[in-house]
Structure 1
Amino acid sequence: MTLLAGIPAVQAQQPGKASTVTTTAPRHTNRLVNATSPYLLQHAHNPVDWWPWCDEALALARRDNKPIFLSIGYSACHWCHVMERESFESDDIARVLNEHFVSIKVDREERPDIDDLYMKATVLYNQGQGGWPMSVFLTPDLKPFVAGTYFPPESRYGRPGFKQLLLEIARVWREDRDRVRAGAESLADAVRRYASIEPGSELIPHATLAALAGALVKHFDPVKGGIVGGGTNKFPPSMAMDIMLRVYLHSLAPDDSGQVRPRRELLECIETTLDHMAHGGIYDQLGGGIARYSTDVDWLVPHFEKMLYDQALVTSIYLDAWQLTRKPLYARVAREICDYVIADLQSPEGGYYSTRDADSEGVEGKYYVWSKAEVLNELGPRDGELFCAYYDVTEAGNWEGTNILNVPRGLDVVARLHKIEPAELERILAASRARLLAVRARRVPPHLDDKILAAWNGLMIAAMARTACVLGEPRFRESAVRAADFVLTHMQADGGLLRSCRKGIAHTPGFLDDHAFFIEGLINLYEATFDLRWLDQAARLTEVVMRRFRDERDGGFFFTADHAPHILVRSKDADDGAIPSGNSIMLMNLLRLSILLDRRDWHAEAERLMRAFQKRVTDHPFSAERMLAAVDFYHARPREIAIVAPVPGPAPDPLLKIVWQTYVPNKIVVGVVGDPQAAARRIPLLADRNPVDGKPTAFVCENFVCKRPTTDPRELERLLAPPVERR
């Protein structure tokens, strides 16, 4: 809906690289110099008289009756920084902004509530398009009346110039304010309707998963994998592949008619995608870690930023796929991503940083690309030529005259072409990677957004804990413990979590996703350690969510706490996008904790949540992949696995290895460390469970029926193993 004549709706831009760092003394300093957000600090020396989002700025707009220019972005957003260089560093444009507007800058990662609300307005205003930078003009009472993304300083690309836009909005506000307010009220009403969720009366049907999986297959690239959309960009479809893998597993069991109809096409889509991602430029072949997305359909040219949440989500799907297929590549990628996070994104105090940017020295990807001459100079002619052959390094380059490392051919193929044994080639490549990684470390690194977000830390803690269990590597468990301890020590106030922490300063009351994601991390950490303190903290924070975020009338949870101020509408969302929704994760948390702690009230609350979003999910399943994973957990009935061992006595490691290396997506795992009576009092699944014959023992129950206890890892594997597809 275009509310002002002559101001067209604008199209979304993709996020990208950050701005360069100035080395001269700044000519200007504004209020953002006192911010903690790295993104806001990047704008602290613009001539624009920026405000952070605060009561003082909002009061100023009301007092002076000025419209608000709201600019929302994040530190790794390319077009955010293009607009900064072109417009916000312009004295001419700054004069217009400072005279006619109250200008407010928001880091969307610190204030996802503000970002979500005004993104809804932007999408409505632009007929389905949105993105960052988000440029929204508000009345003093915070109602949007014009919304867009990137504007060039002068008219081009079919867009009005930013200065022209500012002057026109200032004129209309001055001369026709009633029409502006009427348009703002209309858009605000549309946002309220868009944000409203009509509850259903039934639970979300289990059949929704299979229907979604079948629809997803039609959107997957059969050659390179990934979801084919309207453009060339491909994002790692982690949550979609989770649903497809679950449906494939169900297809290996007899259906209601007694027939077995394996959905092999689902597994083929997943393997094709994971193989090409692992071998593509989107994956850092030297240092590990996954980039935000690929700008081409071949996964070759990434947008080079590395987001913490992507590392967590991608790690999890590689672990799932390894459990089912046992492909060594998948375990290696999961291991390398977690090692990358520990090396580059974990603070000395334990918390995980948010983002490693895409550019260094003002050039996107410069840190990651190579010329053939560089490679040969560092590795010598023999090893260098082998490295170049395997990683697609040529004189001409594969991207803008440089080379993005990728693996277009298998190890055996390259070994055969160069008349070398595959094992010897792998040894040379491993040594070469280590040498080039050391060389790369001496380059100017991309900008690090070193704020620590509770929500994203929760996702990474959950992934780290799972990786420790599945791969049997304790360093990942230790990393997760350090991160959880950091959040619990430094990011709490009034019993709940705080959203963000940087340089020892934590602030902003946590939102639903901060609590939900962190609770998930704590539950995974309990299963990885059997330490009751993590389960106790998960239960305590769940009580906080129930008190502060619960929708008493319709079920589900609001994004903001009951005591937090909200703008226009108190949002309650279940859409899974780049990251899952808080309601999706909270549904799984409630289901898991209801079994772990025998909390039937939380099981009932999970059912209320499903009814609250039943219509939304069944109408829009593509936006509910993570919620549907929890729906699968509910309908498929999780296996309850208790591991007990004599104290003192042999460790239960052989049994735990089977539990964690088998693909059983719907399971609860409990065990005893220390006092067995204390554990049994807290966790009913451990009551009356004693080791058999003085040996570590596994108890497996499913659908209200318990199997015979076993001390034999092979028997446990038989109990847990998925059906084998008959070819």
Structure 2
Amino acid sequence: MNRLKDATSPYLLQHADNPVDWWEWSDEAFAEARRRDVPVLLSVGYAACHWCHVMAHQSFEDGETARLMNELFVNIKVDREERPDIDAVYMEATQAMTGQGGWPMTVFATPDGEPFYCGTYFPRPQFRALLQAVDKAWREQRDDVVGQGRQVVEALTQRGPEPAGAEPPGAERLAHAVGVLAQSYDGARGGFGGAPKFPPSMALEFLLRHHARTGDDRALAMAAHTLEAMARGGMYDQLGGGFARYSVDAEWIVPHFEKMLYDNALLARVYAHWWRLTGTPFARRVALETCDWMLRDLRTPEGGLASALDADSEGVEGKYYVWTPTQLREVLGADDGAYAERLFEVTGTFEHGSSVLQLLADPDDPERYERVRTALLEARSHRVPPARDDKVVAAWNGLAVAALAECGALFDRPDLVTAAEEVARLLVDVHERDGRLVRTSRNGVAGSHAGVLEDYADVAEGLIALHAVTGDPKHVRLAGELLATVLERFQDGRGGFYDTADDAERLFRRPQDPTDNATPSGQFAAAGALLSYAALTGADWHRERAAEALSPVTPLAEKHARFAGWGLAVAEAHLAGPAEIAVIGPRDDGRTRALHQTALMATSPGAVVSVGEPGATGVPLLEDRVLVDGAPAAYVCQGFVCRLPVTTPGDLTRELRRQLDS
């Protein structure tokens, strides 16, 4: 009996027809393992995971392998994107036992959930042999194998929090972190370290903020080079926009082709901030194309954004995206086909003579380039597309709200702001109840899994960014409700935060990890949202908690700055104030709009913006602000101590510079 047919997760539904007797994660599954006195086989993955599909085709769809699994184990399938808490604690055990991790993750555990043997992908012959070996060990050497696993569990459970400094990093430590990043920086190709290369979104945000505060040209150069190299290589979809998960090589040429919402939301925002800092037209184009891709390919009928696109189509990784010279000529004709072959570096960079498209230089003939790109995109639309994981994840949609709102405001694209409002509305209407969040929804129906720390923090961050653009005070109120839950339910009593609430399901270890992964760590994301909320409301308690949550950045910055990028970026905001900008004036007055746009263009790290009519209430930063001689005015403040109001964009820009220099 396969119990996944009623699952809400697209990943679990992919396995609903397997001959494996799958269970969803549940007390009943572990009770069945106790009844049968057999181990649990826990398989964790996600819908866009290429090697998850490979293992499924090789093993989980194979009758003989399924027979062994069903006979010897209780088999539980978990979507890591729905249950990041389960994924986190078992991945920690997998890394402790094997020295590495990845997906699919394959864990053998006792009926009490304690892992005793862990791994990742196994080809079918090895997997079958492993099933039989684990069964034999369970029957004949149970005390030994379970005891070894229990030692790992006890070590993880008893491990204290990461060493923390007494306070957030100051200017000297942040400058040192730039140097640490420079040590692993690839000066020839951009990025950090060697292959595979992942988009270092959070570290790039830190480098941009550091340059804005200090003028450090080295920080800007590393960020700009990496941002350009990523978007010119094959990891970026040169036809449709949007970034793949990572590059398998150090040159950003051949991607692992799945496209994730979280990567693209983070990157759209970073490219927009690069443009805001430098005015680089390339940055503007990439930011907008990435936003357009999110809305075109991930938007759900309910107004949210789906999680990901698969790497495979028709069972072949990358088939949807790659081209041969012959295919170019079939679509474009001989002349334009040859032009596209040169322009997009179609030289056999992938497999079987096909190529991932690159754009290593801006085209000399923009009109021809646009005609060719449009024609190829249209032709590609008739290929079989990759499958879409259409569940809506609260945290990642929160990141997208921030990106869409800021790009819409900075680039005069009100449709993007409208889309951000629609995503926020879905999060509030479907995911939120009385300050509590559920992790996922699908088809407009909330899932059953509780939100984790990153959900609360990233949704609050998105709502605060949306308020800066729209001025709607309800977004600040809602962010405050979510952050109240963070402070009530997630604090660890030592200044940090657990990744799950105090009333969440108990696992063998309560997950807590302050380091960034593919997305900002929950703790650093919470610090950022708390800091911004404090700047809008004057809530000293929130600012103090933000500062405490940043303390792990200090030791991480010493040697591991790549894994604390978001914490470093928030620390830049903390050191810069952050700036608080209140704009008061009639919304239909062009002078108000000009001041508001200037405020949104502020490069002071983490600056918060609020705009409202005279007499506005609901956001303390706006209260008691008045017009100046009947004209709209802007107030630049820090800690609710404000400079004299100004009435022109030029004066506002100068006041912001003075605030940053003070």
Q: Would you say same fold, with TM above 0.5?
A: yes
> How far has the Cα of 1:620 moved from its partner?
4.2
- Partner residue in 1 for 2:467: 526
> How far has the Cα of 1:34 moved from its partner?
1.3
> How far has the Cα of 1:207 moved from its partner?
2.8
- Counterpart pick for 1:63 among 35, 40, 45: 35
- Partner residue in 2 for 1:719: 655
CA contact (8 A) 1:465 1:528 kept: yes
> How far has the Cα of 1:703 moved from its partner?
6.8
> How far has the Cα of 1:444 moved from its partner?
0.7
Q: How does 1:192-341 map to 2 (within 5 A)?
A: 192-194=157-159, 196-197=161-162, 200-229=165-194, 232-252=195-215, 263-341=216-294
- Partner residue in 1 for 2:455: 514
What secondary structure does 1:699 align onto?
strand
Q: What do residues 548-571 of structure 1 show as CA deviations (whole Å, max 9, x unaligned)?
A: 2222x2122211111112212222
What TM-score does the superposition give when structure 1 sets the normalisation length?
0.87
- Counterpart pick for 2:358 among 390, 403, 406: 406
- For residues 723 and 542 of structure 1, do their structure 2 counterparts lie closer, same or farther at Cα, with a shift above 3 Å needed? closer
What secondary structure does 1:652 align onto?
helix
- Partner residue in 2 for 1:485: 425
- Partner residue in 2 for 1:380: 333
207-216 vs 655-664, which deviates more? 655-664
What secondary structure does 1:686 align onto?
coil
CA contact (8 A) 1:323 1:663 kept: yes
CA contact (8 A) 1:301 1:399 kept: no
CA distance in 1, matches of 2:438, 2:410: 31
Larger relative contact order (C-alpha < 8 A, sep ≥ 6)? 2
- Counterpart pick for 2:382 among 442, 456, 468: 442
The amino acid across from 1:688 in the alignment is D
- Partner residue in 2 for 1:699: 635
CA contact (8 A) 2:516 2:566 kept: yes
614-623 vs 479-488, which deviates more? 614-623
- For residues 469 and 581 of structure 1, do their structure 2 counterparts lie closer, same or farther at Cα, with a shift above 3 Å needed? same
What TM-score does the superposition give when structure 2 sets the normalisation length?
0.95
The amino acid across from 1:143 in the alignment is E
Q: What do residues 520-576 of structure 1 show as CA deviations (whole Å, max 9, x unaligned)?
A: 11111111100011111111111122222222x212221111111221222222111
- Partner residue in 2 for 1:390: 343
- For residues 635 and 505 of structure 1, do their structure 2 counterparts lie closer, same or farther at Cα, with a shift above 3 Å needed? same
Q: Answer yes or no: is 1:134 the counterpart of 2:105.
A: yes
CA contact (8 A) 2:303 2:419 kept: yes
CA contact (8 A) 1:249 1:722 kept: no
CA distance in 2, matches of 1:203, 1:393: 48
Q: What do residues 443-464 of structure 1 show as CA deviations (whole Å, max 9, x unaligned)?
A: 1100100000111111111111
Aligned length: 659
- Partner residue in 2 for 1:97: 69
Q: Answer yes or no: is 1:677 the counterpart of 2:615.
A: yes
Q: Answer yes or no: is 1:81 the counterpart of 2:75.
A: no
CA distance in 2, matches of 1:524, 1:429: 35
- Partner residue in 1 for 2:4: 32
> How far has the Cα of 1:723 moved from its partner?
12
- For residues 212 and 397 of structure 1, do their structure 2 counterparts lie closer, same or farther at Cα, with a shift above 3 Å needed? closer
What secondary structure does 1:173 align onto?
helix
- Counterpart pick for 1:550 among 491, 500, 518: 491
- Partner residue in 1 for 2:403: 463
CA distance in 2, matches of 1:41, 1:481: 30
CA contact (8 A) 2:40 2:110 kept: yes
Q: What do residues 142-166 of structure 1 show as CA deviations (whole Å, max 9, x unaligned)?
A: 1111111111122xxxxxx111111
> How far has the Cα of 1:624 moved from its partner?
1.5
CA distance in 2, matches of 1:631, 1:495: 27
Q: Whose radius of gyration is greater, 1 or 2? A: 1
Q: Answer yes or no: is 1:357 the counterpart of 2:298.
A: no
> How far has the Cα of 1:615 moved from its partner?
5.1
Q: Answer yes or no: is 1:164 the counterpart of 2:129.
A: yes
> How far has the Cα of 1:300 moved from its partner?
1.3
CA distance in 2, matches of 1:629, 1:321: 14
> How far has the Cα of 1:609 moved from its partner?
2.5
CA contact (8 A) 1:281 1:301 kept: yes
CA distance in 2, matches of 1:699, 1:203: 27
CA contact (8 A) 1:490 1:506 kept: yes
> How far has the Cα of 1:611 moved from its partner?
4.5
| RMSD of aligned Cα (Å) | 2.2
CA contact (8 A) 1:195 1:572 kept: no
CA distance in 1, matches of 2:122, 2:528: 41
* Unaligned segments of structure 2, at least 5 residues: none
- Partner residue in 2 for 1:50: 22
Q: What do residues 384-406 of structure 1 show as CA deviations (whole Å, max 9, x unaligned)?
A: 33333222235x66653112211
- Partner residue in 1 for 2:414: 474
Q: What do residues 191-219 of structure 1 show as CA deviations (whole Å, max 9, x unaligned)?
A: 21447445554444443321111111121
- For residues 650 and 244 of structure 1, do their structure 2 counterparts lie closer, same or farther at Cα, with a shift above 3 Å needed? closer
What secondary structure does 1:297 align onto?
coil
CA distance in 1, matches of 2:167, 2:644: 36
CA distance in 2, matches of 1:84, 1:166: 15
CA contact (8 A) 2:209 2:603 kept: no
CA distance in 2, matches of 1:568, 1:614: 29
